[in-house]
Amino acid sequence: MFDTRRLVCALPRALAGLGLFLVSGVAAADYALNFQRPVTEIAADLYDLHMLIFWVCVVIFVVVFTIMFYAVFSHRKSRGAKAASFHESTTLEVIWTVIPFVILIGMAIPSTRTLLKMEDTTGADMTVNITAYQWKWEYEYPDSGVHFFSTLATPRAQILNQEEKGEHYLLEVDNELVLPVGRKIRFSLTANDVIHAWWVPQLGVKKDAIPGFINEMWTRIDEPGVYRGQCAELCGKDHGFMPIVVRAVAPAEFDAWVAAQKGVASAEAAQADKTWSREELIARGEKVYAQCAACHGPTGQGVPNVFPAIAGSAIATGPVDGHLDRVMNGKPGTAMQAFAEQLNDIDIAAVVTFQRNAFGNSVGDSVQPSDVKARRQ
C-alpha cells in the first residue's frame, strides 16, 4: 500500500485531480485569490509589481523543480540508474550565482520606482489627521475643523452568532471617513495608546500608527465608492474589531458633507447649555456606553483581572467628582483612556449618568453637561 514508486507515480494524477477540483470549486464559490481591485494609481502599480514578481518566482520554481523531478523519476536505482561521481563544477556554480543576481536587479528597478512614488507626500490638496485608539479611529479634517470617531458598527449579537451576519460583517463603521475623489490627500497618522496600522487594500495604503510618532502617507482615489479595510497591527483584545471604511465621493458632494458636519457640531454646542433631564441623559448615555463596552463589557461586568467592572464599582457608585475625573482623565499606565478629548460635554455627562444608574447601580443622581464644561477649565 505504501510502495513508494506507486505513490510517487500516483501523485501527479492526484494533484491534477485536486487541481481540477480546485478550479471548479473556486469558480463556483467565487473565492478571492488575489489583491482586491485597485482604485488608485499606487494600488494599480502595486498590483502590477506584485504580479511581476509573482510570475518571476513561478518561472524560477517551475524550472528548478522540473529538473529535480526529472531526476527523481529518471535517476532512480529501481530504473537501473548508476550513480555518477561528479561533485563540483565551477562554471555551473558561477552561472547560478550570476543569473539570480541579474534577475534580482531586474526586480529591484521597478520596485524602487514604485517605492519612491508611494512615499512622495508632497503637493497634497488636503490633509486628514488619523489617530488610532484601542479600538477605534479618530479622523480630523484640519481645514474645516470637522472631527469624529469611527467605531465598529456590527452588532454584538452578530459576533456572538445570535443573529444572522450582515453582508459587511466586521467591515462596517458608525462614521465613515468621507474623502473627495481626484484629490491628493495626505494622511498624518499617529496613535494614542499602542501601535496600530491603518490599511485599506484597494487604496494601496498601509502604515503603522505609533504613539509618539507621526507617519505620513497619501492617496488619490480615482472612482467614487466605499472601500473597506482593517487595523493591521496587533493592538490588543479587539484588534480584529476596528475596521476602516472610506467613502469616496465627488468633490462637490464632499464639500456639502463637510458643511453638514459643521451644522451638526454647532447644533450640539447649543444643546450643551440647556439642562437635561435624567431620562434624556440615561437614554443618550446608553448609546455612548458602546465605547466603554469594548473593555467594561455590554453589561458592565468587565473582564476579571483585566478590565474592572462598572456594575457595583466603587468609582461608579461613589462621589460624582471621582467618577467624572476617571472618565475625563483616564488612569495613566492602563488601557483606561482620558475621554475628555474624545467625547463632548453632553456625551460625558450622559455616559456618567448612565453608568451611575445602570447594571444594578442606582445612585439616582445625574450630571449636567455644564458640570463637565466647568471641570474642563
Q: Which residue has the cell 510517487?
A: 8
Helix 369-376 vs helix 320-329: crossing angle, to nearest 10: 60
Q: How far apart are CA 281 and CA 160, in angstroms?
A: 29
Judged by CB under 5 A, which of 39, 185, 205, 235 binds Cu ion? Answer: 235
User: Per CB under 5 A, does 231 bind Cu ion?
Assistant: yes
With binding defined as CB under 8 A, does residue 238 bind another protein?
yes
Q: Are 195 and 233 in contact (CB under 8 A)?
A: yes
Q: Smallest distance from the beta carbon of 240 to another protein, in angstroms?
A: 3
Distance of alpha carbon 66 from alpha carbon 12, whole angstroms = 13
- Rounded to the nearest angstrom, the gap between the alpha carbon of residue 83 and the centroid of all alpha carbons in its chain is 56
* The only residue of 136, 196, 296, 356 in contact with Cu ion, by rule CB under 5 A: 196
Residue 77 has, within 13 A of its CA and on its CB side, a CA count of: 1
Cβ-based nearer residue to another protein, 101 or 299: 101
CA distances (Å), origin 155, targets 90, 160, 166: 66, 9, 9
Q: Is residue 65 part of the contact set for another protein (CB under 8 A)?
A: yes
Which region, judged by CB under 5 A, interacts with Cu ion, from 158-166, 169-177, 190-198, 265-273?
190-198
C-alpha grid cell, residue 177: 471617513
CB proximity list for 183: less than 8 A, separation 6 or greater: 125, 126, 220, 251
Say whether residue 129 binds another protein (CB under 8 A): no
Question: Residues 15-54: x/- map of binding to another protein (CB under 8 A)?
Answer: --------------x-xxxxxx--------xx--xx--xx
Give which of Cu ion, another protein, none residue 148 binds (C-beta under 5 to 8 Å, depending on kind): none
Choices 176-184, 261-269, 299-307, 349-357 (CB under 8 A): range interacting with another protein: 299-307
> Measured between alpha carbons, how far is 310 from 23 in angstroms, rounded to an integer?
53
Q: Cα separation of 199 and 201, whole Å?
A: 6
Contact call for residue 295 and Cu ion (CB under 5 A): no
Per CB under 8 A, contacts with another protein among 86-115 are 86-89, 92-93, 96-97, 100-101, 104, 107-108, 111-112, 114-115
Q: Which stretch binds Cu ion (CB under 5 A): 54-62, 189-197, 291-299, 327-335?
A: 189-197
Q: How many CA atoms lie within 13 A of 196 on its CB side?
A: 28
Q: What span, in angstroms and rounded, lies between the C-alpha atoms of 20 and 26?
A: 10
3-class SS at 230?
strand
Q: Give yes or no for residue 226 binding another protein (CB under 8 A).
A: no
Size of the site for Cu ion (CB under 5 A): 4
- Candidate segments 91-99, 137-145, 225-233, 264-272, binder of Cu ion by CB under 5 A: 225-233
Nearer to another protein, 152 or 367 (CB): 152
CA-based nearest residue to 126, from 146, 107, 99? 146
Identify the three-state secondary structure at position 31: coil
Residue 227 CA to residue 223 CA, distance in Å, equals 11
CB nearer another protein, residue 116 or residue 270? 116
Question: Do 221 and 40 form a contact (C-beta atoms < 8 A)?
Answer: yes
**Which parts of 145-174 interact with another protein (CB under 8 A)?**
158-161, 165, 167-171
Nearer to another protein, 258 or 336 (CB): 336
Q: Which of 142, 143, 213, 293 binds another protein (CB under 8 A)?
A: 213
Q: How far is the CB of 340 from another protein (least distance, A)?
A: 16
Is residue 185 close enough to count as binding another protein by CB under 8 A? Answer: no
* Residues in contact with Cu ion by the rule CB under 5 A: 196, 231, 235, 242
